Chain A
Amino acid sequence: MLSAMLGEAWRAMGANRLRTFLTMLGMIIGVGAVVLMLAVGQGAQYAVSQSINTMGSNLFIVLAGPPSSGGVRSASGGGATLTRADGDAIAELPGIDVVAPVHSGSAQVVYGPNNWNTSVFGTTPDYLEARSWTVAEGDAFTDSDVRAATRVALIGKTAASNLFGSESPVGKTLRIKQTPFVVLGVLASKGQSLDGRDQDDTIIVPITSAQRKLFGTPFPGAVRMLMIKASSAEAMPSTEKAMVALLRQRHRLREGADNDFMLRNLTAIADSAAETTRIMSLLLGAIASVSLLVGGIGIMNIMLVSVTERTREIGIRLAIGARERDVLLQFLLEAIIISLAGCFIGLFVGIGGALLVNALTDTAVIISGSAGLIAFAVAAGIGIFFGLYPAKKAAALDPIEALRYQ
């Protein structure tokens, strides 16, 4: 019975190939759009969550200099008012895990014939702890390296491969701004940061070495940035207030005077970035769903036309013993087949589109099986939902009225 019905549905669809295809096209575009948008949205969410995971948790940064002047943000770290002593004082506050002073800049690095411009971070071992950054090969430098301003370095994966190729950098000597540094270790890979920079394209050296040998300081102990890790997410708001108060007091800022530093809750920024991406991917999915809905309405439209066109045929079928449910099933099957076939093709179109987007723009895409399954279920649902009304209309026809229809 069902096989005969499938055969008939096939025949009916084949009788009007162009129309069947165009109806299907609505579903193909709808499902394709949903699959593509889900893939792009999930890819973006994944990329953001990866960046957040590699950033480290419960982080603040304090930058030297006022947050903005006259609406224009001055170059961060320009007004050199932040000192390592500020960092030490913050470390004494309750709810603070570690404080790492950072003095960074970009520098030309040379190893043998290789030349590479990368960002060099002068900091303390606490920085690695704050960022939960591990050393993949070799060892990290220690606090005594910082005290003695030894010329040692940790190198990120990208910088390492550009300077050393496949060689192991550990124990080699490279030159940063002409100054020789011995590579102690290679940092574990962290990938992209939230703002899209490659976090592995970096070199980390003791802050004292960076200040004395590489970038210099306006006055002893000045730093451009403090990286601060709070002990828990709950402690962050109160810690933030305490830090602002402490810094204002230490910098002798009067009541009402602007801060001469800028404090940022990195974790909150990351959370809002994640939220933004989530909303964006929801929005993309919603827009794509509209095209799926339009595809469904297209099916309903064509099925209604088909029922009208085939009224006489329905009459003949009723006259030779078709029951209401036979006619219902016949038209429903047609709608479901069109919908499912459209969905199937749309799935491939969507996946192909996602791979294309990935290949052309380097955007992360995630094609999940669950998204495909959902698309399939939705398409079958759409076929049934939008096919049911025309099918019911067909099934409810009166035999003699249908037979008289010209």
Chain B
Amino acid sequence: MSDTVIRVEALCKSYDTAAGPFPVLKEVDLAIAAGEFVAVMGPSGSGKSTFMNILGCLDRASSGRYLLDGRDVATLDRDALAALRGRTIGFVFQGFNLLPRMSLEDNVALPLVYAGVERDERRRRARELLAKVGLETYAASLPNRISGGQQQRVAIARALVNRPRLILADEPTGNLDSHTSEEIMALFTALNDEGITVVLVTHEPDIAQFASRQVRFLDGRIVHDGPTVHTPATEPAPC
């Protein structure tokens, strides 16, 4: 594999609770190279979301190192972290997290506003991305007018609009039925084919089959890390 996008060394995270610090991640080591498609799996409460939030620069580790593109994010200030979230990383949430009062086009264009892109260019790119996820006809609609699967596609379009090199998705299909899930996964696969690194959390082995590498968490530690073993029943279906 070529250059490493994500390198995590002895990463620990504990939450402060009333009963004292509660360790969630315990000495996690992981390296992900550019262009990989990684599925993160594990039982509920094993620390997957906590890990993804740290990778997405939404949260900070308690100890250990996280190097993104070789840079230690612990050394970055708030503005630099904002720039990473806006330009380098595209984060996709389980709950879509679209802004309810904005049209789909404005939702998709919002990261460009913060990146200082001109209005016409913002429009053009937002439309282009909406077309890419097959929703250009809904550009002016509000998020509550479309289905969950469509909302997740808009959220993916928003994550992509600033041309990130890394997509992080925390259970992107968690709220969707299996057919819609496969559509979303096909989208991720296509993005990965374009060279974008994709890391996604999922509970379902079927979804994990789309990835080329699977990492399994258990109780805050990585207990398995290896290439996907394809089973005949879960061949990626065309969308």
Chain A residues in contact with chain B, CB under 8 A? Answer: 1, 3-5, 11-12, 15, 313, 316-324, 326, 399-400, 403
Contact = CB atoms under 8 A, between A and B. Distances in A.
B70 to A, nearest CB: 21
A324 B78 CA distance: 8
B146 interface: no
Contacts of A324: 78-79, 82
Contacts of B87: 321
A403 B58 contact: yes
The secondary-structure label for the interface of chain B is helix
Nearest to A403: B58
B42 to A, nearest CB: 20
Interface in B11-64: 53, 56-59
Contacts of A3: 119
Contacts of A11: 101-102
Interchain residue pairs A-B with the least CB separation, the first 3: A321-B86, A400-B59, A323-B82
Nearest to B91: A319
B58 A399 contact: yes
Interface string B105-135: 0000011011110010010000000000000
Contacts, number: 65
Nearest to A399: B58
B82 A316 contact: no
A319 B56 contact: yes
A320 B57 CA distance: 11
Contacts of A313: 99
B58 A400 contact: yes
Given A15-B101, A318-B82, A320-B159, 7 more contacts: A11-B102, A319-B58, A320-B110, A320-B111, A321-B87, A399-B59, A400-B58
Contacts of B99: 313, 316-317
Contact of A319 (B83, B85, B102, B119): B85
A15 B57 CA distance: 31
B102 A322 contact: no
Contacts of A323: 78-79, 82-83, 114
A268 to B, nearest CB: 66
- The main secondary structure of chain A at its interface with chain B is helix
A382 B150 CA distance: 43
11 contacts: A1-B116, A4-B113, A11-B102, A316-B97, A317-B110, A317-B114, A318-B58, A320-B110, A320-B111, A321-B83, A322-B82
A321 B112 CA distance: 9
Interface residues of B, number: 29
A331 to B, nearest CB: 15
B114 A319 contact: no
Contact of A318 (B53, B85, B101): B85
Contacts of B116: 1
Contacts of B85: 318-321, 399
A318 B58 CA distance: 8
B202 to A, nearest CB: 20
A317 B97 CA distance: 10
Interface of B: 53, 56-59, 78-79, 82-83, 85-87, 91, 93, 97, 99, 101-102, 110-111, 113-116, 119, 122, 158-159, 162
Given A321-B87, A321-B162, A403-B58, A326 B101 contact: no
Given A313-B99, A316-B97, A4 B56 contact: no
B2 to A, nearest CB: 26
A321 B58 contact: no
Nearest to B98: A316
Contacts of B111: 320-321
Contacts of B97: 316, 319, 403
Contacts of A316: 97, 99
A320 B114 contact: yes
Nearest to B116: A1
Most buried by B among A319, A321, A323: A321
Nearest to B59: A400
Given A11-B101, A313-B99, A400-B53, A321 B119 contact: no
Contacts of B114: 317, 320-323, 326
A17 to B, nearest CB: 13
B57 to A, nearest CB: 8
A11 B111 CA distance: 18
Nearest to A325: B79
A319 B111 CA distance: 9
A320 B58 contact: no
Contact of B113 (A1, A15, A399, A403): A1
A322 B111 CA distance: 7
Given A399-B58, A400-B53, A321 B101 contact: no
A47 to B, nearest CB: 53
B102 A320 contact: no
Contacts of A1: 113, 116
Nearest to A313: B99
B59 to A, nearest CB: 4
A208 to B, nearest CB: 88
Contacts of A399: 57-59, 85
Interface-centre pick from A5, A15, A319, A399 (highest chain B CB count, 10 A): A319
A127 to B, nearest CB: 76
A317 B58 CA distance: 11
